[in-house]
Amino acid sequence: MRVQTMRTVDYFVGIPLCWCASLLQRVLNLFHSVHDTPPQHVLFIELSEMGSTILAEPAMQKLQHATGATLYFLIFARCQDSLKLLHTIPEHRVCTLRDTNVWTLAVDVVRYVLWTRRHGIDTVIDLELFSRFTALLTFLAGAPHRVGFYAYHHEGLYRGTLLTHQVSYNPHIHIAKNFLALVAALLSATREVPYTKISIRDDDIRIRQRQFTLAEQQHMHTRLRHYYPAYHPDDHDLVLINPNASEFLPQRRWMPDNYVALIQQILRQHPRVLIVITGSPSERDEAEVMTQHVAHERCINFAGAVPLIELPVLYSISQCMITNDSGPAHFASITAMPTFVFFGPETPALYGPLGHTTPIYAGLACSPCVAATNHRKTPCRDNVCLQVIDPAQVYALVKPTLDRRGVHA
């Protein structure tokens, strides 16, 4: 389904359904006592943001270490590969929903309800920011513990009173810390209004990094050589360019002409650099247009060349990546590779990757223009916040990393 269709359904159908479900929940509460049993089978819900599966990693690790609970995950089928990057939740404990159309989604929701009963889900943690759809999915799980963000006195964010642990979303701290606040609410020994009255440190949201075997890296070198036969790791430094962003928020894209100008300057100044343009298979044609505009033998179109699950191996042998604010910026945080990430409609203070990241952000008076309070929908059709970032400015930021020889592995 199109993003706008999903937003419309979530608003016009989600609000009345959440109201009805809340009324039903109040009736059910009259016949069921409050459960104080510790969580044993915990379901996390994050449907559409692939990068958020990485940002939620500290929260999932904290819960598992604190309780030993078995963790499960619900996600859209098109995003499920992002869960395989850190292997926190095995594939057989992941439930997926297809969002291709209303009918397949309805069928999968029924399947999800049966799946939660079969696995004995006793706790649901809704990571989504004020989605009525996930609020209903949380309710339909039938779990005695239901944790999520609650609007309290904020207007326009109604999604019922379906949560047993109502956590106040804090728009002034990183989203990974907000995710940790959800877990802390579940672990709290006392009931709080609002949750969660604790301090969360920067050290609490560190991402564990993956290590790769020499064989895995050699295999990636071979893949690259297929696209650039002269490539040799002793002779070339890989600089990755990810010029894409999801259709969910196309305003996050830095201008293609700026990418071309930046790439050309890098190639002129750094004869060892091999530019590798990455992306999904559906983005290959767009990457090819950029490659043709660069018009240099040391710039190759690598979009769709490897599956998402293998991207971190590529990151482990690369010098750095320059990317829009999108999933790959977060996927790279599980490696030591430096990333340079463009921000405009969103702010790095809330959504910056947790790895070795340098944000590139103009900080206009109108930025950020998307937030939880507007369901990440912006009226902007002219992303000046990214247009004002000059290729020469970006090159100056990237140059010290390019001048350092060798690979961050």
Mean pLDDT of the residues in the chain: 93
- What is the sign, positive or negative, of the torsion defined by CA atoms of 387, 392, 397, 402? positive
Reduced to 3 states (helix: H, G, I; strand: E, B; else coil), residue 196 is: coil
CA 18, 21, 22 angle in degrees (round to 5)? 85
Specify whether 131 is located in the same domain as 228. Answer: no
Candidate from 22-31, 69-78, 142-151, 380-389 with smallest mean pLDDT: 22-31
User: Across 128-132, 167-171, 178-182, 280-284, which has the greatest mean pLDDT?
Assistant: 178-182
Please tell me what DSSP assigns to residue 193. S
Task: With cut-offs at 50, 70 and 90, classify the pLDDT of residue 150.
Answer: very high
- Rounded percentage of the chain residues whose pLDDT exceeds 90: 84
Residues with Cβ within 8 Å of 322's Cβ and at least 6 positions away in sequence, in order, are: 239, 240, 241, 242, 259, 262, 339, 340, 394, 398
pLDDT exceeds 80 at position 32: no
User: pLDDT grade, residue 371 (50/70/90)?
Assistant: confident
Residues 267 and 160 in one domain: no
- Identify whether residues 151 and 260 lie together within a single domain: no
**Same domain (yes/no): 184, 249:** no
Is residue 145 domain-shared with residue 279, that is, in the same domain? Answer: no
* 136, pLDDT greater than 70: yes
Whether 31 is covered by a domain: the verdict is no
My answer on whether 118 and 262 are in the same domain is no
Euclidean distance between CA atoms 399 and 264, whole angstroms: 13
Query: Which stretches within 119-198 are classed as H helix?
Result: 132-140, 175-187
Is residue 110 included in any domain, yes or no? yes
Does residue 374 sit in the same domain as residue 225?
yes
Query: Which of residues 205, 229, 254 is at a domain's end?
Result: 205
Report pLDDT digits (tens) over 175-212: 999 999 999 999 999 999 999 999 999 999 999 999 99
| Domain assignment of residue 358, given as a range | 214-403
Same-domain check for residues 125 and 197: yes
CB 98 within 8 A of CB 104: yes
Answer yes or no: do 11 and 156 share one domain.
Answer: yes
Please indicate, yes or no, if residue 267 is contained in any of the structural domains: yes
36 or 161: which leads in pLDDT: 161
Residue 26 domain-assigned (yes or no) = no
Residue environment code for 25-57, b if the CB has 16+ CB neighbours within 10 A, otherwise e? beeeeeeeeeeeeebebbbbbbbbbbbbbbbbb
Residue 163 resides in a domain: yes
Q: What local confidence, expressed as pLDDT, does residue 5 receive?
A: 81
Same domain assignment for residues 200 and 226: no
* The predicted structure's pLDDT at residue 364: 96
Q: What is the pTM of this model?
A: 0.94
**205, 222, 251 — which closes off a domain?**
205
In this prediction, residue 250 carries a pLDDT of 83
Kind and range of the H or E run holding 274? strand 273-277
- Quick: pLDDT tens for 329-353: 999 999 999 999 999 999 999 999 9
CATH number at residue 396: 3.40.50.2000
Residues 53 and 94 in one domain: yes
State the average pLDDT over residues 136-158: 92
408 falls in which pLDDT band (50, 70, 90)? very low
213 preceded by a cis bond (ω within 30 of 0): no
The pLDDT tens digits for 87-114 are 899 999 999 999 999 999 999 999 999 9
Asked whether residue 27 is assigned to any structural domain, the reply reads no
Residue 34 has pLDDT above 70, yes or no: no
Q: Do 46 and 89 belong to one domain?
A: yes
End-to-end CA separation in angstroms for the chain: 39
Of 180, 205, 230, which residue is a domain's last?
205
Identify whether 145 is part of a domain: yes
- The pLDDT of residue 315 is 98
Which residue is it, tokens 């991207």? 311
- Would 409 be classed as within a structural domain? no
Instruction: Count how many domains the chain has.
Output: 2
pLDDT, tens digit (0-9, with 9 covering 90-100), for 232-277: 999 999 999 999 876 777 889 999 999 999 999 999 999 999 999 9
* Predicted pLDDT of residue 409: 40
**Tokens standing for residue 257:** 């002409």
